[in-house]
């Protein structure tokens, strides 16, 4: 009789992993409060001589000149720099710096008024004779990618700017195949850490 063929071992069935429980707003606020309290204590342990007057503290309501922006902003900036090649001649352009400048200048909702393009260009790191031209070229890239829209005004063709929800933009770009899986996972992971649900919007 011919020898029997060895039977390969059975692959153990995958053990289902339970999804993390969904927290309501009150539970999320409690978790943030505890994390904040722990961070403050750790900071005092590490820098016991640091005075509040030497720090720029969010709790100090007398402070002026701050801005509200999505926490994954560094990831959005890097993504813009990487995928800009899709709307240029194939060359990556650091238009993410201009995007950060826009968010640092927004005051009312998602709308801003750029009356002095030369100053905004300098904020983005564009100097020299072509600073405004570079600024405008990067705004065109941001519009072509879907991150902003702009309208002309008395100060120029790019004076009034509207910032679209960057999470929704990333979702659309991913559907186009422009966002690498690793990049999208990094943004997704960050949204879960901070409790942002914008990527789940229909």
Is there a domain that residue 42 lies in? Answer: no
The whole domain housing 115 covers 73-165
Q: Residue 158's pLDDT is what?
A: 95
Q: How far is CA 139 from CA 126, 129, 178, in A?
A: 13, 18, 19
Most confident of 5-9, 18-22, 25-29, 187-191: 187-191
Non-local (6+) Cβ contacts of 188 within 8 A are: 199
Question: Is residue 24 in a domain?
Answer: no
Place of tokens 């590490």: 46
Confirm whether 191 is domain-assigned.
no
Q: What is the mean pLDDT of the chain?
A: 86
Is residue 176 situated within a structural domain? Answer: no
Judge whether 190 lies within some domain.
no
3-state secondary structure of 92: coil
> pLDDT band at 53, cuts 50/70/90?
confident
The pTM of the full predicted model, rounded to 2 decimals, is 0.78
**DSSP H/E element including 46:** helix 25-46
Residue 38 burial by CB count (10 A; 0-12/13-18/19+): exposed, middle or buried?
Answer: exposed
Q: Which CATH number does the domain housing residue 142 bear?
A: 1.10.10
């Amino acid at each position: 009789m011919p020898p029997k063929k060895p039977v390969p071992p059975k692959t153990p069935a995958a053990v289902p992993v339970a999804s993390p429980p969904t927290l309501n707003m009150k539970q999320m606020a409690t978790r943030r409060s505890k994390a904040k309290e722990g961070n403050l204590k750790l900071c005092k342990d590490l820098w016991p001589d640091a005075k509040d007057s030497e720090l720029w503290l969010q709790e100090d309501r007398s402070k002026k000149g701050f801005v509200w922006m999505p926490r994954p902003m560094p990831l959005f900036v890097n993504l813009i720099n990487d995928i800009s090649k899709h709307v240029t001649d194939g060359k990556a352009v650091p238009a993410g710096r201009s995007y950060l400048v826009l968010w640092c200048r927004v005051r009312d909702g998602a709308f801003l008024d750029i009356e002095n393009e030369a100053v905004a260009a300098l904020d983005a790191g564009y100097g020299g004779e072509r600073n405004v031209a570079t600024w405008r070229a990067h705004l065109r890239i941001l519009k072509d990618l879907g991150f902003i829209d702009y309208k002309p005004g008395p100060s120029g063709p790019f004076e009034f700017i509207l910032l679209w929800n960057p999470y929704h933009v990333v979702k659309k770009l991913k559907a186009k195949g422009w966002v690498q899986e690793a990049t999208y996972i990094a943004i997704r992971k960050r949204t879960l850490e901070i409790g942002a649900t914008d990527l789940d919007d229909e």
